[in-house]
């Protein structure tokens, strides 16, 4: 049952999907962690794989960059492929003073400057939230693995290159931990579909301090976040 953006057949995708932005990171996760991974999608280069981990069937697929892109892929996974939960594993720019490079963040809530929610015609402002069950499990699994994590709100922005230099400091003063570009749309799609979603993030740069990790480490170096996400598979 192919869609315009996914060539997978019905049943080729597991109930749990890990979703990095970069399709090459999806390939890395599949080849590094999954047993007998099978590629189910190559449409538009957005690679997707299904395999097993500790006997559990799990899929991993890229989402692309930004809310429009993850909005398409997560919608199709939830509505056309019977996926029950999507766990985004992505990078973020740290904003809070106590957030450092390589920190893992559990995005409990997602603030946004996007109008993605306008399509739902709600009589107010929607607050995109993670699945509480998955967020709690992620913190518990991290503690069991001995990995420190921070949990709180993030900013899901439509802008990577913004023209307002006051924007990120303004979000920071409201306690926002980090900025990324996909979680709000994922959380809204999950809410509308009655499914579960969680965003786990590794801090790849701290834009207010001018700190960043090299591109190669962004693609392959976030093993703690990946291992926490894999533990959430059902």
pLDDT, tens digit, 9 for 90 and up, residues 50-94: 999 999 999 999 999 999 999 999 999 999 999 999 999 999 999
End-to-end CA distance of the chain: 23
Kindly list the domain boundaries of the chain, sorted by start residue. 16-231
pLDDT in tens, 156-200: 999 999 999 999 999 999 999 999 999 999 999 999 999 999 999
Could you give phi then psi for residue 132, rounded to 5 degrees? Answer: -60, -40
Residues involved in catalysis: 205
pLDDT above 90 as % of the chain: 92
* 15, 78 Cβ separation under 8 angstroms: no
> Residue 83 contacts by C-beta under 8 Å, 6 or more apart in sequence?
13, 14, 15, 16, 17, 59, 77, 195
Region 15-42: mean pLDDT is 96
Amino acid 139: pLDDT: 97
Q: Any idea which residue has 């450092």 for tokens?
A: 100
* 201, 104 Cβ separation under 8 angstroms: yes
For the domain bounded by 16-231, which CATH number is listed?
3.40.50.1580
State the average pLDDT for the chain: 95
* 91, 221 Cβ separation under 8 angstroms: no
Amino acid 220: pLDDT: 60
Region 217-226: mean pLDDT is 77
- The residues pairing with 92 across neighbouring beta strands, listed in sequence order, are 203
């Amino acid at each position: 049952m192919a869609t315009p953006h996914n060539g997978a057949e019905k049943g080729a995708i597991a109930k749990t999907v890990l979703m990095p932005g970069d399709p090459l990171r999806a390939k890395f996760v599949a080849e590094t962690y999954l047993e007998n991974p099978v590629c189910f999608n190559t449409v538009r280069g957005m690679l997707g794989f299904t395999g097993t981990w500790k006997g559990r069937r799990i899929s991993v697929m890229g989402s692309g960059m930004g809310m429009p892109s993850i909005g398409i892929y997560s919608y199709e996974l939830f509505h056309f492929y019977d996926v029950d939960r999507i766990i985004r594993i992505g990078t973020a720019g740290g904003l809070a003073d106590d957030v450092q490079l390589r920190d893992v963040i559990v995005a409990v809530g997602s603030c946004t400057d996007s109008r993605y929610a306008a399509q739902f015609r709600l009589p107010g402002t929607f607050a995109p939230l993670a699945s509480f069950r998955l967020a709690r499990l992620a913190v518990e699994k991290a503690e069991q693995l001995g990995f420190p994590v921070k949990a709180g709100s993030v900013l899901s922005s439509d802008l990577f290159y913004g023209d307002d230099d006051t924007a990120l400091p303004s979000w920071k003063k409201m306690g926002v931990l980090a900025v990324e570009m996909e979680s709000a749309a994922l959380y809204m799609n999950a809410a509308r579909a009655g499914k579960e979603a969680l965003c786990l993030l590794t801090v790849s740069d701290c834009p207010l301090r001018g700190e960043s990790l090299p591109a190669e480490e962004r693609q392959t170096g976030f093993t703690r976040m990946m291992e926490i996400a894999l533990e959430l598979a059902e």
